[in-house]
Amino acid sequence: MAADESAHTDKDSIKRMEKGCKAIALKAIAKTLSMTMKIAQAAHERNVPCFCADLTVNPILVEWNKNVAGRLNSFPGLGNLGLVESNGHQNYKNWETMMSFHPRKDGAWVRAAKGVYELNDEFYKTGGGIFDPMPHYEEMFL
């Protein structure tokens, strides 16, 4: 049983772990990074694994989640792999159009291969593109 998005803070997460939750679904894209880290730290201190859940987001926010998930301890039972939920490609009609706005859309890590995102040195050096200029989104605010 995993604590879900109802664990809004580290304190909420600790309560759920004390009640028996054996994993924490981090919603890194729905919380501040500082709160996400507090929740992850509380889980780490209690030896409770975390994974990132995506809330059906666009490709850039999937990269945000990968940045968090790629730095967590491996998820139990998966060998040397973290765990991230990613379902936007299944739920957005215009997923490929949104992919065209990704500043590193051709990165080896952008698309899952047999259900696995293969994060490489370039991903970690660039943050998967989340810090790159994004003209499509920047133009929305002109």
What CA–CA distance (Å, rounded) separates 48 from 17?
Answer: 8
Q: Is pLDDT above 90 for 14?
A: yes
- Residue 5 clears pLDDT 80, i.e. is over it: no
Q: Which residue has the tokens 């002109």?
A: 142
| CA torsion through residues 19, 20, 25, 28, sign | positive
Rounded-to-integer distance, Cα 46 and Cα 117, Å: 27
pLDDT for residue 6 is more than 80: no
Furthest CA-CA distance within the chain:
49
pLDDT in tens, 84-141: 989 988 999 999 999 999 999 999 999 999 989 999 999 999 999 999 999 999 999 9
Q: Whole-prediction pTM value?
A: 0.90
For the cut 90, the answer to whether the pLDDT of residue 81 exceeds it is: no
The pLDDT score that the predictor gives to residue 82 is 87
pLDDT on residue 91: 92
DSSP class of residue 46 equals T
Residue 11 has, within 13 A of its CA and on its CB side, a CA count of 0
Question: Model confidence over 17-63: pLDDT tens digits?
Answer: 999 999 999 988 888 889 999 999 999 999 999 999 887 899 999 99
